Amino acid sequence: MHIEVIGSGAPLVLIHGWALHGGVFAPLVQRLADRHQLHLVDLPGHGHSRDSATPLHLQAVAAEVLARTPPALWLGWSLGGLFALHAAANSAQVRGLAMVAATPRFVRGEAWPHAVEPAVFAQFGGELGRDYAGTLDRFLALDTIGSEHARSELRTLKDTLYARGEPAPQALQAGLALLEQSDLRAAAASLSQPSLWISGRRDRLVPAAGMRQAAALSPLAREVEIAGGGHAPFLGHADQVAAEIAGFTESLPLQPLGAT
């Protein structure tokens, strides 16, 4: 699995969303590399990890990233949030957790109304085989719809999408299955680390109300809503998101919880 290391300072692991790669975090890299050692993960089947033998499973990915990175704050965006949350719930090496437009459960269910219909991800999976490029374009549009900077964010995502080659179709299907089937609410409730939940008020994929509900599950959580943000608030509102991350880092304990 490809993990790019940039900058110096407090370690920060960043895990991207569906179909993209670590390069999508360029706006945060520009703003945080002078104070963070950034570990930018390309998930298996994505970017420079397109041919990785690691399966796109929560446990397998989390275990490999934990083995290859120091104790750190972990940030997960969208699909990446599932991997970050799983790691945080199972390892004191995760000093803190930042969830950006990511919740423990992405589909609606019992006592979980602020999410998408279960059929959404199944529909994207069915369309991938018939229209690979068109399906990816439609998903990127869903990432940006509603944001006050939707046009520029969509252009950035389209420019980023194939910058490291095409994502592997089987990895895309596996990612959609994770989005459709994962329910990590118990993991969120079990967190012993501080957590930061950053939502976009205009997000049509992960509603801000769902982020508030998710943050309420975690004992040491703080929730921040980006007023004009959509599903990728670190693109159109990079200064605000970077400032929230920097402030959160400063509030973390000097050692991982449980360390001596």
Catalytic sites, residue numbers: 78, 203, 231
First to last CA, the chain: 30
Return the closest-CA partner of residue 144 out of 20, 43, 252, 232: 232
Residue 184 φ then ψ, to 5°:
-105, 30
DSSP-assigned states of every residue in 69-120: S-SEEEEEETHHHHHHHHHHHH-TTEEEEEEES--S--B-BTTB-SSB-THH
In DSSP terms, 73 is beta-bridged to 12, 96
Is 40 in contact with 65 (CB distance < 8 Å)? no
Phi, psi for residue 3 in degrees, rounded to 5: -130, 110
Q: What are the residues whose beta carbons fall under 8 Å from the beta carbon of 216, sequence distance 6 or more?
A: none
- Complete edge-to-edge strand list for the sheet that includes strand 3-6: 3-6, 36-41, 10-15, 72-77, 94-100, 195-200, 221-226
Tokens representing 36 are 């963070």
Say how far apart CA 252 and CA 66 lie, in whole Å.
19
